[in-house]
A and B are shown apart, each in its own frame.
Chain A
């Protein structure tokens, strides 16, 4: 069963704690992306990676960090420096020879 998996679906965190969101894909896609979605704000790019061991900041990278040690995995860490982390986080991937970007099911993070 191919696709993009994100875990967990719901995540609760206390203020001041770091938390890591998982994103795995078995589509053999080269590029992977993290977006943040807030009501009425659309999808805003946090980080993206086109190849293993390389990634670039998006428009709202402050307070977030990523790693890309394997082609299949692109975890996102929400650090305590992120001022307003409560949001819906979406991971996506794409084969660079094609246009289509596929999304995972998302993780809803709530800071208590």
Chain B
């Protein structure tokens, strides 16, 4: 089966940088995705890493190390609107397996 571990909560101040880590155990791994979900909303796609290294999309970056079964999401120049839950998810076969989510609270 698959399992993913990520911190349950992270708090940071506006303008700061925060890193959300994700470790996984899976078979048939294809890649690691990150999703954002605001309270009451749908998960929205942020980034995908199929290969080792860093992917950058605006203020968000995501990193993957396949040998370490580890990835992270880096959020820079935090804004209040970034307060949300962030999920890492592994693609293995025909399914996405999600972690339990990290609730990010951004304070003024």
A binds B: no
Question: Which residues of chain A have a CB within 8 Å of any CB of chain B?
Answer: none
Question: Which residues of chain B have a CB within 8 Å of any CB of chain A?
Answer: none
